[in-house]
Chains A and B, each alone.
Chain A
Amino acid sequence: MTERPSEEDVRQAAELAEASAELAARNISRYLEVHKAGPMGLNMVAHETEVTEAAQLSADLAAKNISRYREVSEITRRMQDETP
């Protein structure tokens, strides 16, 4: 027969669930803010594209994201500063 969990077990499980939800909420909040300012684009280079051309296409996209990246740097730095 399965033993009933004690009140202490139930309390600890509830605390754990709450802590886990709080952590997830912090992670989600951080992700949304960081990726809103500097989204990570993953464009699939066409199969027939030569490797050198593919690298150039990727580099072009990366260059376009530089200003966004700078914004992300600032946001991330701010968030890190605010993290207790």
Chain B
Amino acid sequence: MRRRNVAAPDHDLRRDFILPPMGGARLSSKLTPIKPGWIYQNAQAVCEYAGTWEATNLRNSYLTALNSLQKYKFEFDRDGTRILLNFAYGDEQAQDTLRHIMTADTLPPGWQFTLKEQQEATERTVRALEIIRGVDPDLYSSLHTIMGTLVFAHRNGFDGGSVSDVIGLIWVGLSPSRSETDYAELITHEYVHHCLFLDDMVNGIFEASAPRMGEEDALVTSAILKTRRPYDKAFHSAFVSLMLIDFYTALEMPAKAHSFLDPLLVTARELCSKPQFLREHGNSLLDELSSLAESRTLSAAT
């Protein structure tokens, strides 16, 4: 029998949770691909392309559009705005998607969360979403507009991930023993990838093909992994890093925020030295990112 998705409860677990301080300007107001207005405009373009546009319900229109355009389908809450939490037991569709995201022929042994882990992961996720709401209510809203489902599965060596042809769904592999802040970081991290996928889809970020961006002369040091990676992946890593700097700054965790800064500067400089891999829009985003990264350096120095 197919297991039903669990919708993240909005209120049940909020009683004993103190929201973190706001900590300055909102994260989502700084970078074009994650600005809510830009995201909604891009989402509308996808709906119009797919023929699903309904002005009264962008979320439903957009998630329906993704399901009609993408091979890998996912369920979403059609009656509300909750992000579904899917543990994929007996759910062949979700398991197929997990194999695709993991680039694996079979799911690894022990991939399923136990019932106890499901409960803990649900609690962590709900609290993580509350952290995000506390840090930036606009980001929380846009996250709930463009994200349909979180699918949970363990895989040794990985905390989760996303893939460019399954926009709207995030794989979460993080152990429930990790903190809600780690869950919030993971969701924020993956959310940035989805915003960039969407922006690339509608406005075109990359000039070169994926194989070309994986060739030796296109490799750039990743701001997250700190190893040389294809240009497009390093580009994503820089945006994630900047977002996480602001995320941890907002949570008043300056040491954690600062740990992302130096690698980000290295990545931003290397990306800027190879503008030929970006289209005009991509270069404009990179200019924006570089300028914001430099401004973080100045604020860290003062």
With a cutoff of 8 Å between Cβ atoms, the chain A residues found around residue B46 in the complex are 28
Bin chain A's interface residue count. 35 or more
With A27-B203, A43-B102 as known contacts, state yes or no: A69 contacts B214, CB within 8 Å.
yes
Specify the chain A residue showing the minimal Cβ separation from B202.
A24
With a cutoff of 8 Å between Cβ atoms, the chain A residues found around residue B165 in the complex are 32, 35-36, 39
A44 near B227 (CB under 8 angstroms)?
no
What CA separation (Å) do A29 and B260 show in the bound complex?
A: 35
Q: Is B210 an interface residue (CB 8 A)?
A: yes
With a cutoff of 8 Å between Cβ atoms, the chain B residues found around residue A44 in the complex are 158-161, 173, 186, 189-190
Specify the chain A residue showing the minimal Cβ separation from B194.
A42
- Decide if the interface of chain A is mainly helix, strand, loop or mixed: helix
Specify the chain B residue showing the minimal Cβ separation from A70.
B211
With a cutoff of 8 Å between Cβ atoms, the chain B residues found around residue A57 in the complex are 157-158
Q: Is A10 an interface residue (CB 8 A)?
A: no
What CA separation (Å) do A62 and B236 show in the bound complex?
A: 16
With A32-B69, A35-B164, A36-B165 as known contacts, state yes or no: A47 contacts B210, CB within 8 Å.
no
B-contact 0/1 string along A13-57, CB 8 Å cutoff: 000000001001101111110111011111111110101011101
What CA separation (Å) do A43 and B201 show in the bound complex?
A: 20
Specify the chain B residue showing the minimal Cβ separation from A59.
B227
A40 near B210 (CB under 8 angstroms)?
yes
With a cutoff of 8 Å between Cβ atoms, the chain B residues found around residue A72 in the complex are 209-211
A49 near B157 (CB under 8 angstroms)?
yes
Contact of B163 among A30, A31, A41, A55 (CB under 8 A): A41
Q: Which B residues lie at the A interface, using CB under 8 A?
A: 45-46, 48-49, 69-71, 100-103, 156-166, 171, 173, 182, 186, 189-190, 193, 200-204, 209-212, 214, 225-227, 229-230, 232-233, 236
